A and B are shown apart, each in its own frame.
Chain A
Amino acid sequence: AEEVCVRTPLQKQQSLPLRPVIPLVARISDQNASGAPPMTVREKTRLEKFRQLLSSHNTDLDELRKCSWPGVPREVRPVTWRLLSGYLPANMERRKLTLQRKREEYFGFIQQYYDSRNEEHHQDTYRQIHIDIPRTNPLIPLFQQPLVQEIFERILFIWAIRHPASGYVQGINDLVTPFFVVFLSEYVEEDVENFDVTNLSQDVLRSIEADSFWCMSKLLDGIQDNYTFAQPGIQKKVKALEELVSRIDEQVHNHFRKYEVEYLQFAFRWMNNLLMRELPLRCTIRLWDTYQSEPEGFSHFHLYVCAAFLIKWRKEILDEEDFQGLLMLLQNLPTIHWGNEEIGLLLAEAYRLKYMFADAPNHYRR
């Protein structure tokens, strides 16, 4: 198999913006950074299983979650994500109508509200979004196209004004990207990152936009306190992470204390952007297969993933002997070559931690 994932490094997590281009999604499903064979028998069977579930009269969502937890094949990811997020109904007959209705509803919002973006009470929100969109995924041609940027602006603006308790907070802009890329991939054979969206019909683009909006909304419903005033969700989760790490790896925890590293200094971003700045996009997409299969995946389970992620670097952390070195490391963790395999291991460890601490009152509790 050709080397798909490691062409050039993606360094989205960089605090300094060094971001050479890398394929956003592995072109072959479940491809690893190391380069996996095209498709094994096992993968074919899995895909078959997904197809069966998805085409049944009433999709068994529990079963779909179970199957999706270890990763969703690229071919069926768009529809699986729509189902897992709760956007699409399990009942086959209702799907078409639901999609049609939801897409109309979204464009109804646009019609009703989008013109208000330049009015005084929404001006600041729109301006901030407008400033952030071109720099959301700089250097990736797909996201530099005016049509794509307009889609992102509309999605974010409508979401923000419909959620005045939080409004638009930097970081939310990143959360559109995985949905957009996954729903776009339904129509694109080649590299998504270089795709010219003017090749798509307006209808298709509208569907992608509306679906991205609704799925992002569902995601945000579960983590809205991350973005309300003073970001209590994030503060709480960073504290919980600290507490958890102090129990599972005292040595790392004490190392941070010794050099006066505070968890908030690095983990704020982990929570605010759901690790998206720390991982290549293909890994985020894989991670979200699981988050959408876990109860409270984006909120509760994410915490265990962060803990597993931190401990994954314990050796590198313990090797750093001063505050500066530690912070530079924690802000630039070398994940550029990561693929499905690394994410799989990370998730397995997170799952182990979750069970270890779920029913242990003396251990970490939510």
Chain B
Amino acid sequence: AVQEGAAGGSLERHCPTYIYKVVLLGSTAVGKSSLAYRYMKNDFQESLPTVGCSFFTKIIRMESATVKLEIWDTAGQEKYHSVCHLYYRGAHAALLVYDITNKETLGRAKQWLKELEKEFLHDEIVIALVGNKTDLAEEREVPAEEGEEFARSRSLLFMETSAKSNHQVKDVFMAVALQLLQREAEKAPAPRRGQHVDLGESRARTGCC
């Protein structure tokens, strides 16, 4: 994230706020909005199909830093694809969501990965592969190992979740946040990354909490 507005006071150093843009991508009806809803409100409800994109923010306070996630929940239907890239532009992290009871949706998540790899360098974005709907275990089509193995081969974070039964939802966002912070720490001494101006990049910044 880009440093901005930190006037250099010593107070700011030990409690920085990082703002990251996180996009939820994946097939239609795999549970992207439900994951966002569970994470924001800790509840489960039938969602309307997302049109274009929905936006939420979530603040995570940790000992060393405060992380503010800007979560962009995108529409799953392929027809929306043409506008979708507008939403993931400038993202710092992506959750590629599939439905463990529908094998095709994993294939779709892999396609999303390809697309992201075209747009981002490997160290520019944190990507998590998320197998949702573990509450429907008896209908499972994708073994956990398959998702896990694929994620490992591509150095992605991996987690299976259930928005419905509240399984590991918080955890997956937390894992992403931690990885983002870790990358922040790794590159801290190095010069900040390229100044190509785009929407998400310019808003990503540290401030003071």
Contact = CB atoms under 8 A, between A and B. Distances in A.
Contacts of A16: 33, 36-37, 40-41, 54, 56
Nearest to A166: B79
B48 to A, nearest CB: 6
Given A16-B37, A131-B29, A171 B51 contact: yes
Interface in A145-171: 167-171
A135 interface: yes
B153 to A, nearest CB: 29
B46 A331 contact: no
B52 A268 contact: yes
Contacts of A227: 79
Interface in B17-55: 28-29, 33, 36-37, 40-41, 45-55
Given A131-B29, A260-B203, A262-B199, A138 B46 contact: yes
Contacts of A235: 83
B57 A18 contact: no
A132 interface: yes
A331 B40 CA distance: 15
Interface stretch (B69-77, B135-143, B169-177, B182-190): B69-77
Contact of B86 (A134, A264, A327): A264
B82 interface: yes
A231 B48 contact: no
A17 B54 CA distance: 11
Contact of A128 (B46, B48, B68, B77): B77
A231 B81 CA distance: 10
A12 B70 contact: no
Contacts of A323: 70, 203
Contact of B49 (A18, A132, A324, A327): A132
A173 B33 CA distance: 18
**Listed residue (A17, A134, A234, A327) with the most chain B CB atoms within 10 angstroms of its CB:** A17
Interface size class of A (residues with CB under 8 A): 35 or more
A16 to B, nearest CB: 5
Nearest to A271: B52
Nearest to A14: B48
A63 to B, nearest CB: 37
A12 B199 contact: no
B199 A15 contact: no
Contact of B83 (A132, A134, A136, A268): A268
A139 interface: yes
A229 interface: yes
Interface residues of B, number: 33
Chain A contact residues: over half helix, strand or loop, or mixed? loop
A17 B37 contact: yes
Contacts of B199: 260, 262
A253 interface: no
A231 B79 CA distance: 9
A268 B74 CA distance: 12
Interface string B133-164: 00000000000000000000000000000000
Contact of A15 (B46, B55, B70): B55
A169 B45 contact: no
B57 A328 contact: yes
A10 B68 CA distance: 30
B46 A135 contact: yes
A269 B55 contact: no
Contacts of B55: 15, 265, 324, 327-328, 331
A15 B202 CA distance: 25
B57 A324 contact: yes
Contacts of A138: 45-48
Contacts of B57: 324, 328
A74 interface: no
A277 interface: yes
Nearest to B200: A260
Nearest to A235: B83
B80 interface: yes
Nearest to A133: B49
Contacts of A135: 29, 46-49
Interface string A123-147: 0000010011011101100000000
Interface of A: 12, 15-19, 128, 131-132, 134-136, 138-139, 167-171, 173, 227, 229-231, 234-235, 260, 262, 264-265, 268-269, 272-273, 277, 323-324, 327-328, 331
- Give 8 closest A-B pairs by Cβ, nearest first: A15-B54, A268-B52, A138-B46, A230-B82, A17-B47, A327-B55, A269-B51, A324-B57
17 contacts: A17-B45, A17-B48, A131-B28, A135-B46, A135-B48, A135-B49, A136-B49, A138-B47, A170-B51, A170-B77, A171-B51, A227-B79, A235-B83, A268-B83, A277-B51, A323-B203, A324-B55
Interface of B: 28-29, 33, 36-37, 40-41, 45-57, 68, 70, 73, 75, 77, 79-80, 82-83, 86, 199, 202-203
Given A19-B45, A135-B29, A235-B83, 16 more contacts: A16-B56, A128-B77, A134-B46, A135-B46, A136-B49, A138-B45, A138-B46, A169-B79, A170-B75, A234-B83, A260-B202, A264-B86, A265-B55, A272-B52, A277-B48, A324-B55
